[in-house]
Structures are given as C-alpha cells and as structure tokens.
Amino acid sequence: MNVNDTIKVYAVIDSPTFGEVYMQNEASGQVVRHNFTSSAAHPLCEESVAWMVSIDINAANRPLANFTQLEMTSASASDSNGVLFRPDGANLVDMVNAQTQANITFVQAFVSTLFVTYI
C-alpha cells in the first residue's frame, strides 16, 4: 500500500453465523478477503456498523503513523430491509493518547464521507 492509494472495503453478513470482508487496493488490484464465523450461541450481531481507524493492540509500544488525513468516501451500510446508515448519523470518537489523554485525531462526518485527521 502506498500514500494516496484508494482502498475499497465492503462487508457482507450472509447469516448470523457467517460474514465476509473484502478489501481491494484499486491502484494495485490486490484483493484480500476475510471470512468471519460465529456459533449460533454467539451470532454476529447484524445490528450495528462501524467505520474505524485503529492501531493493532499488539503494537501498543509503537507510535501511530502520522497519516495526516484519512478520508472514507461513499461510506454506508444497509440492513436486510434496505434501510441505509451513513457516518453523519454515527457517534464520532477521536483517538486519545493513553498516557496524556490528549486527542491524537479529529473526526468529522459529512453525509457519507468520514474524515480522520491526525493532530
């Protein structure tokens, strides 16, 4: 992945016990697919959606990369009834430095576009 690459991500929840996530780097054409499975006793919730930037918990001792600004465009999700959900109706949460409690990102949503700015 390189600076300014466009990554298309989409997820499909096929059932309470199976879902798939696809990520495609539109510059290189590389596609990564991941299957999610769950037991009937602990089904996939199919009740919420999150657009997020996170750091690998195993990389806690490494600093967050200075990505300047990340833009997620055409961000939406729909339920089985076709009801559309977009970031502009979401709870926006900034990342915080665990030691200083200072914000390290600023998050904004406009309709179906989400901006995460590194401070």
Using the structure block, give the residue that is written with the tokens 């466009």. Answer: 6
For residue 80, which amino acid is it? Answer: S
The tens digit of pLDDT for each residue in 31-81 reads 999 998 888 888 877 677 777 777 666 666 666 677 788 888 888 888 778
Which of helix, strand or coil describes residue 69? strand
Instruction: Work out the pLDDT band at 109, boundaries 50, 70, 90.
Output: very high
- Contact between 20 and 35 (Cβ < 8 Å): yes
For residue 7, which amino acid is it? Answer: I
For residue 97, which amino acid is it? Answer: N
- Cα-based torsion angle of the residue sequence 46, 51, 52, 58 in order, rounded to the nearest 10 degrees: 40
pTM for the structure as a whole: 0.71
The tens digit of pLDDT for each residue in 76-105 reads 888 778 888 888 888 898 888 888 999 988
